[in-house]
Amino acid sequence: MKKSLFAAALLGAAAMSAAPAIAADTYFPIIAKGFSHQFWQAVKSGAESAAAANGVTITFEGPNTEAEIDKQTDILNAAIAKKPQGLGFAALDSQAQVPALQKAADAGIPIVAFDSGVESDLPLTTCTTDNVNAAGAAADKLAEAIGGEGEVAAQIHDQTSATGIGRRDGFVNRIKEKYPKITIVDIKYANDALKATDDIKATLQAFPNLKGIFASNEGTAVGLAVALKESGAKVVGVGYDSGKTQKDAILDGTLLGSITQNPVGIGECVVNSLAKAMKGETLPKVIDTGFYWYDKTNITDPKVAAVLYD
């Protein structure tokens, strides 16, 4: 019996010594879709926390706004040229940036996508919210608030990223499938709060019988809140993400509520997944980082408050 235990201990020690370790100079560039929203700062915080826990170095980069696809591609190419040991990437364009990622794959650099995936099998995994289901949940809340009938609109943050497409389709399809008495009369696209404000004011003027509006990210939700306050329109507003302006708008009744992701968890997931890949661990193709609906009734719930940010 003692021999068996001793042999098992030796085998375990051998296995541990054979497992690949992460080198002290391991470097992962993490490339986000932008810096203008607090969402990305929360992702950055999670990534930095995981980097410290794993003993790796990261940089967190991205264009100034989420409209700068070419700028993000330049940042991506520059990061690949530094020959890092892994790469985290949130694509502004799910198709156009695949060739650049192919360069990383050809160089043997493990890729982990986050927030927005790409139309490719190149990433080992994607750390993301189930955007279709989350936007569907937002549609349910909006539909309930307007009594299941009437005209609604959507303000979406872009037409090219997986998040923009997923949230638009999730909202639209849920309304069409479950609420035959609700008509989506307008869908507009804006990549910042100022343009979203102008778009939503135009929508309110064009559709005086509008009952509700869905805004698909932090910037568009802020634009929705501003447009509703400045116009005085009595329209139900539902947002996505968090941030102080959006939370204040929910607390003062300007917005009904929002979907929150888990941005800190997304950042942690990216770095942890790259560290696991360095150790030879197999990753699932998608890691769902979860979401919550929040409004003034549950905004202080510990589970919800933990994933909100300012």
The residue whose two tokens read 């303000």 is 155
Extract the tokens encoding 33. Answer: 């879709």
Q: Who's near 286: CB < 8 A, 6+ residues apart?
A: 117, 125, 126, 128
Where b means 16+ CB within 10 Å and e means fewer, 93-111 reads bbebbeebbeebbeeebbb
Domains in the chain, start-ordered, CATH in brackets?
A: 27-129+263-290 (3.40.50.2300), 131-260 (3.40.50.2300)
DSSP secondary-structure letter at 272?
A: H
pLDDT of res. 240: 98
The answer to whether the CB of 112 falls within 8 A of the CB of 127 is: yes
Extract the tokens encoding 108. Answer: 């043997």
Report the DSSP pairing between strands 210-215 and 182-189: unpaired
Q: What H or E segment, with its residue span, contains residue 20?
A: none
Q: Who's near 242: CB < 8 A, 6+ residues apart?
A: 38, 39, 42, 218, 258, 260, 263, 307, 308, 309, 310
pLDDT of res. 270: 98
The residue whose two tokens read 């002290």 is 24
Q: Is the dihedral of CA 89, 263, 22, 6 positive or negative?
A: negative
pLDDT of res. 113: 98
- Number of other residues whose CB lies within 10 A of the CB of residue 20: 9
The residue whose two tokens read 């389709």 is 169
Q: What H or E segment, with its residue span, contains residue 109?
A: none
Q: What angle do CA 174, 191, 128 make, to 5 degrees?
A: 55
pLDDT of res. 27: 98
- Ranges in the chain, pLDDT < 50: 1-19
The residue whose two tokens read 């306050």 is 229
- Number of other residues whose CB lies within 10 A of the CB of residue 283: 18
pLDDT of res. 137: 98
pLDDT of res. 1: 40
pLDDT tens-digit series, residues 224-278: 999 999 999 999 999 999 999 999 999 999 999 999 999 999 999 999 999 999 9
- Quick check: pTM over 0.85? yes
Q: What H or E segment, with its residue span, contains residue 167?
A: helix 162-178
- The span from the CA of 23 to the CA of 97, in Å, is 29
